[in-house]
Amino acid sequence: VSGVRLEKKQATLYHVLIEDLNVLDVAIPLKPNLLLLPSDKKLAAAETLMVAMTARETILSLRLNYLTEFDFVLLDCAPAMNLMHQNAL
Mean pLDDT of 57-73: 89
* Predicted pLDDT of residue 1: 59
pLDDT tens per residue, range 6-53? 888 899 999 999 999 999 999 999 988 889 999 888 888 998 999 999
Query: CA angle 62-8-69, nearest 5°?
Result: 30
pLDDT of 22 reads 94
Residue 11, amino acid:
A
Q: pTM value?
A: 0.85
Q: 30 by DSSP, 3-state: which?
A: strand
Phi/psi for 21 (5° steps) reads -70, 150
